[in-house]
């Protein structure tokens, strides 16, 4: 039994689609029309027909491409230009900013897990060029307030929609408010094509050159497809307890692609300027057709957690302005020790509570904070909440709410 986000999208349908690709459609692996079709469908889905859209192998490459193409930069060699960024984020966001020669300026969060506007007001300066507004797990950020903030300080507004594909604010899809947005269909995200991210440019005045991308190797394309097969089998074998062995072998022998390279955990940038392979675009299009069903499931599970855990745990404060898709279900423990005890206790019952976003405010634990130019106490709330938050699963495969609730009592 598992309660981690990382098996998000390995369902039987994807397993079959991937097998079909591997057996009958190998020529499909690298090139073809699927990417163009997917980009058009996504724009339609987001009601963003007039925006430009570019696909990338990962989020890092999308942000790097854009940051290094930003007009009116002063000096791109000494970190003079600054980017405001959430104090609770993933190391790959930060290493991209640094390697593009920008300085990350960390903005503290509040109980919604999103950035506090008051802290951003304190930290913005004449060197600030852009702000990345991350919609974190439960809640979309307040885009009306952030749009006003960006206008007031003349900043480019980037939405990080890695967790929020399909969430809405006042019937407008998240990702269509900022000058640009980066979305994800990575393997633990809202829908999955194993990897893939896209950059949506909403502001027609922001001229961004078409990225020069190289085709992925056949090996990497295959590694990505293998992930769906191996993760599905691991999921099925969870109860006979050998899933970890399977995942270990898959990682050890590089049958599947790594999440973060050791280089990236040390806050260095690995270049992934790859084209999205046709095969992954094919999978994403198949998933796109299921997205509403997937999100209804998430909401149902989230409601069950709310009902059954509210007497004991606090959740992020819920914003009234948004239609949330409940990507992940964060709960707050009263202290770090109790959280750690629960995670250990759960393991004894073979329940794996995912802790990727727990322990330190630049995730995952072990990311080099010094190289990320993060100074302790810069974002006290983010540091505190990161130690006490656990993100429970509510993905499409997940239906064992009662087991998790029993454990958490
Ligand atoms: C909120 C958020 N932004 C950005 C990223 C970075 O994405 P990538 O690892 O593909 O570069 C992640 C990774 O999970 C994320 O959760």
Residue 7: pLDDT band with limits 50, 70, 90: low
Tell me, yes or no, whether 50 and 197 share the same domain: yes
Q: Cβ distance 304 to 298 under 8 Å?
A: no
Q: Is 358 in the pocket of ligand 1 (CB under 6 A)?
A: no
Residue 175: pLDDT band with limits 50, 70, 90: very high
- pLDDT surpassing 80 at residue 74: no
How many angstroms separate the first and last alpha carbons of the chain?
A: 17
Tell me, yes or no, whether 68 and 192 share the same domain: yes
User: CATH no. for residue 146?
Assistant: 3.40.640.10
Tell me, yes or no, whether 305 and 173 share the same domain: no
Is 377 a domain residue? yes
Tell me, yes or no, whether 47 and 185 share the same domain: yes
Tell me, yes or no, whether 45 and 165 share the same domain: yes
Residue 99: pLDDT band with limits 50, 70, 90: confident
Tell me, yes or no, whether 180 and 301 share the same domain: no
Rounded to whole angstroms, the Cα distance separating 143 from 397 reads 31
Among residues 157, 177, 201, which one ends one of the domains? Answer: 201
Q: Which residues, in sequence order, are bridge partners of residue 84?
A: 105, 131
**Polymer length of the chain:** 409
Is 330 a domain residue? yes
Cα-to-centroid distance, 240 and ligand 1 (Å): 32
Q: Is 65 in the pocket of ligand 1 (CB under 6 A)?
A: no
Residue 270: pLDDT band with limits 50, 70, 90: confident
Cα-to-centroid distance, 181 and ligand 1 (Å): 13
Query: What is the domain count for the chain?
Result: 2
Rounded to whole angstroms, the Cα distance separating 343 from 92 reads 25
Q: How many CB atoms lie within 10 A of CB 163?
A: 26
Segment 6-31 mean pLDDT? 76
For atom 7 of ligand 1, the residue with the nearest CA is: 59
Tell me, yes or no, whether 167 and 296 share the same domain: no
Tell me, yes or no, whether 46 and 175 share the same domain: yes
Q: What is the pLDDT of residues 117-131, one digit of tens each?
A: 999 999 999 999 999
Cα-to-centroid distance, 23 and ligand 1 (Å): 31
Structural domain of residue 86, as residue ranges? Answer: 26-201
Residue 72: pLDDT band with limits 50, 70, 90: low
Q: Is 197 in the pocket of ligand 1 (CB under 6 A)?
A: yes
User: CATH no. for residue 311?
Assistant: 3.90.1150.10
Q: What is the pLDDT of residues 190-245, one digit of tens each?
A: 777 787 778 899 999 887 787 888 888 888 888 989 998 988 888 887 777 777 78
Residue 105: pLDDT band with limits 50, 70, 90: very high
- Comparing 131-140, 329-338, 397-406, the range with the smallest average pLDDT is 397-406
Q: Is 60 in the pocket of ligand 1 (CB under 6 A)?
A: yes
Q: Choose the residue to mutate in 97, 100, 162, 328 for probing ligand 1, maximizing ligand atoms within 8 Å of C-beta.
A: 162
Tell me, yes or no, whether 171 and 310 share the same domain: no
What is the dihedral angle through the alpha carbons of 287, 291, 294, 298, rounded to the nearest 10 degrees? Answer: 130
Tell me, yes or no, whether 46 and 152 share the same domain: yes
Q: Is 95 in the pocket of ligand 1 (CB under 6 A)?
A: no
Which element (helix H / strand E) includes 352?
strand 352-353
Is 66 a domain residue? yes
Q: How many CB atoms lie within 10 A of CB 184?
A: 24
Q: Is 160 in the pocket of ligand 1 (CB under 6 A)?
A: yes
In this prediction, residue 75 carries a pLDDT of 63
Atom of ligand 1 nearest to the CA of 260: 9
Q: How many CB atoms lie within 10 A of CB 111?
A: 17
Q: Cβ distance 177 to 159 under 8 Å?
A: yes
Of 62, 40, 63, 36, the C-alpha closest to 51 is 40
Segment 166-176 mean pLDDT? 91
Rounded to whole angstroms, the Cα distance separating 280 from 217 reads 13
Is 2 a domain residue? no
Q: Give the distance, in angstroms, between the CA of residue 144 and the centroid of all CA atoms in the same chain.
A: 22
Q: What is the mean pLDDT of the chain?
A: 87
Q: Cβ distance 326 to 299 under 8 Å?
A: yes
In this prediction, residue 130 carries a pLDDT of 94
Tell me, yes or no, whether 295 and 193 share the same domain: no
For atom 2 of ligand 1, the residue with the nearest CA is: 162
In this prediction, residue 102 carries a pLDDT of 92
The fraction of the chain above a pLDDT of 70, given in percent, is 95
Q: Cβ distance 49 to 43 under 8 Å?
A: yes
Q: Is 162 in the pocket of ligand 1 (CB under 6 A)?
A: yes
Among residues 137, 170, 201, which one ends one of the domains? Answer: 201
Is 35 a domain residue? yes
Q: Is 93 in the pocket of ligand 1 (CB under 6 A)?
A: yes
In this prediction, residue 124 carries a pLDDT of 98
For 271, counting Cβ atoms within 10 Å of its Cβ (0-12 exposed, 13-18 middle, 19+ buried), the class is exposed
> Considering just the CA atoms, what is the radius of gyration of the chain in Å?
20
Tell me, yes or no, whether 58 and 188 share the same domain: yes
Rounded to whole angstroms, the Cα distance separating 306 from 313 reads 9
Is 81 a domain residue? yes
Cα-to-centroid distance, 162 and ligand 1 (Å): 6
Report pTM: 0.92
Of 161, 396, 156, 152, the C-alpha closest to 292 is 396
In this prediction, residue 107 carries a pLDDT of 98
Q: Cβ distance 191 to 165 under 8 Å?
A: yes
Is 270 a domain residue? no
Rounded to whole angstroms, the Cα distance separating 21 from 299 reads 31
Among residues 148, 180, 201, which one ends one of the domains? Answer: 201
Q: Is 57 in the pocket of ligand 1 (CB under 6 A)?
A: no
Cα-to-centroid distance, 89 and ligand 1 (Å): 8
Is 345 a domain residue? yes
Q: What is the pLDDT of residues 333-386, one digit of tens each?
A: 999 999 999 999 998 887 888 898 999 999 999 899 999 999 999 999 999 999
């Amino acid at each position: 039994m598992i309660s981690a986000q990382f098996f998000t999208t390995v369902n039987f349908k994807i397993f079959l689609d991937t097998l079909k690709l591997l057996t009958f459609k190998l020529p499909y692996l690298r090139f073809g029309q699927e990417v163009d079709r997917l980009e058009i469908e996504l724009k339609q889905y987001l009601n963003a027909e007039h925006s430009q859209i570019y696909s990338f192998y990962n989020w890092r490459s999308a942000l790097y491409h854009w940051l290094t193409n930003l007009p009116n930069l002063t000096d791109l060699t000494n970190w003079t230009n600054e980017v405001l960024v959430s104090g609770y984020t993933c190391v790959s966001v930060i290493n991209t900013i640094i390697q593009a020669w920008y300085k990350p300026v960390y903005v503290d969060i509040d109980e919604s897990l999103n950035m506090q506007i008051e802290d951003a007001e304190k930290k913005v300066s004449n060197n600030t060029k852009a702000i990345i507004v991350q919609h974190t797990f439960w809640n979309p950020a307040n885009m009306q307030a952030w749009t006003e903030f960006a206008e007031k300080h003349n900043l480019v507004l980037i939405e990080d929609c890695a967790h929020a594909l399909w969430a809405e604010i006042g019937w407008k899809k998240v990702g269509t408010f900022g000058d640009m947005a980066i979305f994800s269909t990575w393997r633990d995200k809202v829908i999955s094509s194993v990897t893939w991210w896209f950059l949506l440019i909403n502001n027609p005045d922001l001229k961004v050159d078409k990225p020069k991308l190289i085709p992925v190797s056949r090996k990497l394309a295959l590694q990505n497809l293998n992930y769906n097969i191996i993760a599905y089998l691991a999921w099925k074998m969870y109860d006979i307890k050998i899933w970890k062995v399977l995942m270990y072998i898959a990682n050890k022998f590089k049958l599947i692609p790594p999440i973060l390279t050791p280089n990236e955990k040390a806050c260095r940038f690995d270049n992934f300027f790859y084209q999205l392979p046709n095969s992954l675009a094919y999978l994403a299009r198949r998933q796109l057709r299921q997205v509403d069903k997937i999100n209804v499931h998430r909401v149902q599970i989230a409601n069950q957690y709310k009902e059954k855990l509210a007497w004991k745990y606090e959740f992020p404060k819920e914003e009234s302005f948004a239609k949330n898709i409940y990507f992940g279900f964060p709960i707050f423990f009263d202290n770090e020790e109790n959280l750690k005890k629960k995670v250990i206790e759960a393991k004894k019952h073979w329940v794996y509570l995912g802790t990727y976003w727990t322990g330190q405010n630049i995730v995952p634990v072990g990311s080099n904070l010094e190289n990320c130019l993060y100074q302790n106490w810069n974002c006290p709330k983010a540091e505190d909440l990161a130690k006490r938050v656990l993100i429970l699963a509510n993905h499409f495969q997940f239906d064992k709410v009662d087991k998790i609730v029993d454990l958490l009592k």
